[in-house]
Homo-oligomer: A and B are copies of this chain.
């Protein structure tokens, strides 16, 4: 088992990574409260697979273990579904000492974390990510929230978990498409922060897609280390943390344009990284070989290389309402070579050219 520490003063916490963690009570010893309630929040896909295993591991450590099973999918990441968690907490008279457990992927993690942030103005929660994407990215760093029809994650909070338990065994039940989506965030971490890890990924992508346990554990650990370092330097995204959004400005626009859930987040980020690399190339920040290597790695992960054939104006419109935009000005995360990133404000025409080079239509219709 590996352990990565996220250093945030009184809000510091550990990420445990390894095999067999879910069924081991020791994994959760750090958050045990003999007189309090545990509420495990999961979804209809994950609950039949792992809810009882996790509950069994928790039963000796809490006065009672409660369940709340949500519908599965990004399209349910809204207030109505979130309210199911509040209803359960209040019906069961859960007090401020209760601990919420997010058993699932990014949607379950974001919603459970936001419920924990808001319930009685804040209770503790633990991330138990069951998708690769959640293990390498969304379960770490404390970003929580729900979607609004006008934008993804527009309503939320920074609320750090007390513990993250990433059991790589659970990835065996993950559909191949979800695995590829998670690999997008793995590639992202290499591209923005670690050229050596990027090279390792180029050699080990087949092993990762075959779920070789050692390869997967290494990738999860390295991503968590990179993310923990960035989050420790910039908890609330006022600076360095923005680099983690490489591929996301374009990706969020794809997700919003297609309706949440039709493209997986990781798929949208995959194509978004290709567009962002194109933009970096056009700005003279990387050479054609680096852009080619990024495209090849995205393709090797089984991810789309092109954004949907929608008018480029639609993409630009959606990007202007993204959270990262200020006064309608979009700041792009660009590559400054493989393994380094920077932020730059650019005219619409530059982004439009990069989008059109990878699938967007020049004109409506």
Write the residues of chain A forming the contact surface with B, with a CB cutoff of 8 angstroms: 35-36, 63, 79, 83, 86-87, 90-91, 93, 95-97, 117-122, 143-145, 148, 150-151, 153-158, 236-237, 320-321, 323, 325-328
Contacts and interface: CB of A to CB of B under 8 A. Distances in A.
A236 B83 contact: no
A325 B97 CA distance: 10
A157 B327 contact: no
Instruction: List the 10 closest pairs (A to B, CB-CB), nearest first.
Output: A90-B150, A120-B323, A121-B156, A118-B155, A95-B326, A93-B321, A121-B158, A79-B79, A35-B327, A121-B157
Contact of A145 (B121, B236, B321): B121
Nearest to A89: B154
B95 A158 contact: no
A97 B327 contact: yes
A321 B121 CA distance: 15
A118 B83 contact: no
Contact of A323 (B96, B117, B151): B96
Contacts of A122: 157-158, 236
Contacts of A93: 320-321, 328
A155 B327 contact: no
Nearest to A145: B121
A287 to B, nearest CB: 34
Given A122-B158, A156-B121, A95 B236 contact: no
Contacts of A63: 327
A97 B326 contact: yes
Contact of A86 (B35, B91, B148): B148
Given A86-B148, A90-B321, A96 B326 contact: yes
B150 A121 contact: no
Nearest to A83: B79
Given A36-B327, A93-B328, A157 B157 contact: yes
Contacts of A143: 121
A118 B113 CA distance: 13
B118 A156 contact: yes
Contacts of A148: 86, 90
9 contacts: A36-B327, A86-B155, A90-B150, A90-B151, A95-B327, A118-B145, A119-B154, A120-B154, A121-B158
A97 B325 CA distance: 10
Given A79-B79, A121-B144, A121-B158, 18 more contacts: A86-B148, A90-B148, A90-B150, A93-B320, A93-B321, A95-B327, A95-B328, A96-B326, A117-B157, A118-B118, A118-B157, A119-B154, A121-B143, A121-B156, A122-B157, A122-B158, A122-B236, A157-B157
Contacts of A145: 118, 121
A268 to B, nearest CB: 20
A156 B93 CA distance: 17
Contacts of A325: 95
Nearest to A37: B327
Given A36-B327, A326-B95, A326-B96, A236 B156 contact: no
